[in-house]
Structure formats: C-alpha cells, structure tokens
Amino acid sequence: MNNTPHIIQEGSVQYQIGNQKGNQIIYDFPKMLIYLEAKGKLLFGRNFKIYPEDEIILYKLCIYFIRDIETCKKLEIDPNKGILLSGPVGCGKTSLMKLLPFIVPHQNQHSLIPARNITFSFNKNGYKIIEDYGNNGFYCFDDLGVETTGRHFGKDCNVMGEILLSRYDLFLKRKLRTHATTNLNAQELENRYGIRVRSRMRELFNLVAFEKESIDKRV
C-alpha cells in the first residue's frame, strides 16, 4: 500500500500535492494544478496547459477524486455517485478524465472507453457487449451520445442506453460508480436515450459542466 500518495514521482521530479497530518492528507489545490499541468504535458504533449477559466471545474473534480467529503457536501457533490462531465467539443473533458486519476494513485482507476467503440463492438459481437460493460468494471464512457444506434443481426439497439440501465442496477447493488463525458445537454440526452435512462442518469451521476462558451483547446 502507498503510504505517501500525496508525493508523486515523475521521472526525476517529485511533486508534493499535499501534507500528511496523522492519518489524514491535507491536499493543496495550487500544488495539484502544478502537478496536473506537468503530467498533462507528459501525457498529451508540451502544448497542454491548465487554463485559468477551467480552475473552478478542476477544483470540483479534484475535490471529488481526493474524496474530500466535507467540501463535496458544500459543493453539493455526492462522492458515491460518478461524474458526468459535460461541455462543448474540444473543451478538454476527455483529457481531464484521463488525467485526474493520477492525483490519487492509491485508488482504483477507471478505464476510459469511447462510447462509439462500444457500439462498434456490439455490432460485431452482440448482446455480450452490454453484459461486459453493464455488469462489471469501473468505466468512464467517453463522448456519450454521439455513438450510432447499434445493429446486430438486423436488430437495432440503443446500446449505451441499455448499458446505463445495467450500470444503474450495478450501482444499487454494489455501489460501483460510472463516469462519462458528453457534448450533449440534459434535453439532448433525454431525446437520445429516453426519459427512463435520463432519470437513472440523475441518480448515477454528479453533473459537472463547462460553460457553453468554453474555447476549443485543440485549435
């Protein structure tokens, strides 16, 4: 077990993102931002940077990932639910959901899977894919809502909708969280997946949203 998860080694550089007091780690948000920018450059290239206008979003996400229960309550974030990170194309949703688990190396890490890849797998392998992603594992479904309708042996299926219903059952039984990113707003998600799935999503996820005006950082 890692007894110093607040001290992270990247090559020859050591980042201390908090201080230990007894059995508790007191995290330091500015130091976390320094580490996240450095790790982002390693993962995504030297042009990666943390934008000041995104720091409010990052603060919420960091508080959630480090499981600061008191601050989560103040921010109306349920640490037992997953994260639904929404925002316009290119605002950095996928990068952040790849990056943030690195601040908590002692916790179980989610696998980030594009929703469209799951649908492609369904088209080839059928309903086993819904079982594979719906009944087990710790996932972040990336770009939820842009995937096509699944089709296997001539039968159409709203693959991600079915998986989300299964993940809801999994959440109730085993408290296993689910994360997702999406470009769609609440009404678009309801149009895409139906009222029943949208209702389950409210119970599955904390909504964390970028501003509609967030710039495309890929330009």
Mean pLDDT (whole number) for 173-187: 95
Q: Which of 88, 64, 85, 92 is nearest to 76 (CA)?
A: 64
pTM score of the predicted model: 0.94
With bands split at pLDDT 50, 70 and 90, how would you rate the model's confidence at 217?
confident
What DSSP character marks residue 102? G
Least confident of 88-92, 113-117, 215-219: 215-219
pLDDT score of 219: 58
What does the pLDDT average to over 140-158? 94
Residue ranges of alpha helices (H) inside the chain are: 29-44, 55-65, 69-74, 93-99, 115-125, 128-134, 159-174, 186-193, 195-204
For 209, other C-beta atoms within 10 Å of its C-beta total: 17
**CB–CB of 112/207 below 8 Å?**
no
**Cα separation of 10 and 118, whole Å?**
32
**Cα separation of 63 and 69, whole Å?**
8
Query: For the structural domain made of 7-209, what CATH number should be given?
Result: 3.40.50.300
Residue matched to tokens 């925002």: 87
Return the structure tokens found at 27.
């995290």
**Is residue 118 over pLDDT 90?**
yes
Q: Which residue has the tokens 């096509």?
A: 148
